[in-house]
Amino acid sequence: MSAPSAQGGKFGSRMGFIFAAAGSAIGLGNIWRFPYTTGEYGGAAFVLVYIGFVVLIGVPVLLAELSIGRASGKNPVGAFAALDPGEKKRWSLVGGLGVLTGFGILSFYAVIAGWTVSFLIRALSGTFAGGMTPEQSGELFTDIIASPGETVGMSAVFLLLTALVVRGGVSGGIERAAKILMPVFFLMLVILAGRAVTLPGADAGLRFLFAPDFSKLTPAGVMSALGQALFSLSLGMGAMITYGSYLQKKERLPVAGISVAIFDTLIAILAGLIIFPALFSAGATGAKGPGLVFVVMPAIFDKLPAGQAFGVAFYALLAVAALTSTMSLLEVVVAYFVGQRGWSREKAVWVVSGACFLMAVPSALSQGAVDGLGADVLGESFLDIMNILWGNVALGLGALLIAVFAGWRWGVNKAVEEMGGMPGGALWGIAVKYVCPIGIAVIMIYSLVNWEFL
């Protein structure tokens, strides 16, 4: 059992946990990353493969992480060490990889989260009032991301906010915030999607999202769909191990895990239902890449009554959704330093977020502010490289190792027992023993050999 005072305590209720875990899962991955990768890899076919991965790989790995976390009651490194039957505890290295990955993801995620704050400020000051064409919002976006002071400053602001919440511990900060704000965000997305799909010309966007053309699917697309499924569910780096460790023994893991996966996937699809109809309706089919949501959203606000207020609420809630995700990223690294290294929570929070800020600077400056960090020199911008390296490759490797550990090392029986004996236990066993490891290995080896992940 973890010491509540050192590790932040236990979740007070099942709903508190579901909201916090869903809060970790739901974030920029759904609203920013899902639409633009879907756009990049051809639409509906990519979406189908992504959903397939959520079911076949995401849900099994999610349940594996939650049970590893709760059975051990520890941070990822301590969790593998506690459950590894071997003398040398080599599997704790998987936890170590997870901690490193969490740090890597946080370093670029904070930059994108900073962009949402920049847009929130613009929305508050009325920049979007009166409507904006995609060309205008595209220019605004390019200006913002190329401004060194603004991007570096906003990343710092975001990391600071994250640090302040994580310092408060689990039930204090995370649970309370997530409980209120996630449902509000969901409602808002439903309204926005309702408006987007009734725009003139929206049907082209719906076709892009739902009518698959498998000839557009490339091996790189398959790798990205896997990466996206893991990224979106916060899997492969121990976030769900850490949250599982704060979960009380009486909660039933499968119910909690599957609810989180359903919510998360729904929100990604909802984001697609907003972005693509709005994009095609505005005739801006050329808008793509990491700027996609930022360029498309301003076009839709003035199509709504009280559009300006809507814009403000959208960016505010998106920033909050990002915050509940950065909290979980920082929490993993902090839990490691507190649990394994004996640091105080306070010290861990400030040292880790400070170091993460330094890592965030090159990502923040790689979007046009500083020559040499962009795609012209590196092939992909520094931020994109971090995104692919940590967000796809490292998560894939982590998820593979977690599945192998649960299936072969710790053992299916012990895990299923921890889950409270679930009806589909045997199926889950097959998934973690065979489907996940083989599936992930084949996809990763193929795309690495072809150097296609870039």
Contact letters (x/-) for ligand PHE, 313-352, by CB under 6 A?
------------x--xx-----------------------
CB 278 within 8 A of CB 260: no
- Give the total residue count for the chain: 454
Residue 350 amino acid letter: W
Using CB atoms within 10 Å of the CB of residue 211, give its burial: 0 to 12 exposed, 13 to 18 middle, 19+ buried.
exposed
Does position 107 interact with ligand PHE (CB under 6 A)? The reply is no
- DSSP-H helix ranges across 217-291: 219-232, 239-245, 253-281
In the bound state with ligand PHE, the residue whose beta carbon lies nearer, of 155 and 232, is 232
CB 311 within 8 A of CB 195: no
Given the structure tokens 């739902």, which residue do they identify? 210
Q: Closest approach of Cβ 77 to ligand PHE, in Å?
A: 16
In the bound state with ligand PHE, the residue whose beta carbon lies nearer, of 113 and 273, is 113
Phi, psi of 302 (to 5 degrees): -80, 0
User: Rule CB under 6 A: which of 215-274 touch ligand PHE?
Assistant: 231-232, 234, 237, 239
CB 79 within 8 A of CB 241: yes
Does position 209 interact with ligand PHE (CB under 6 A)? The reply is no
Nearest to 393 by CA among 446, 337, 321: 446
Q: Closest approach of Cβ 230 to ligand PHE, in Å?
A: 8
In the bound state with ligand PHE, the residue whose beta carbon lies nearer, of 75 and 281, is 75
Of 2, 7, 30, 353, the one binding ligand PHE (CB under 6 A) is: 30
In the bound state with ligand PHE, the residue whose beta carbon lies nearer, of 23 and 407, is 23
In the bound state with ligand PHE, the residue whose beta carbon lies nearer, of 199 and 329, is 329
Does position 37 interact with ligand PHE (CB under 6 A)? The reply is no
What is the C-alpha to C-alpha distance for residues 266 and 261, in angstroms, rounded to an integer?
9
Does position 396 interact with ligand PHE (CB under 6 A)? The reply is no
In the bound state with ligand PHE, the residue whose beta carbon lies nearer, of 77 and 237, is 237
Does position 28 interact with ligand PHE (CB under 6 A)? The reply is yes
What is the C-alpha to C-alpha distance for residues 226 and 427, in angstroms, rounded to an integer?
20
By the criterion CB under 6 A, which residues form the site for ligand PHE? 24-25, 27-30, 105, 231-232, 234, 237, 239, 325, 328-329
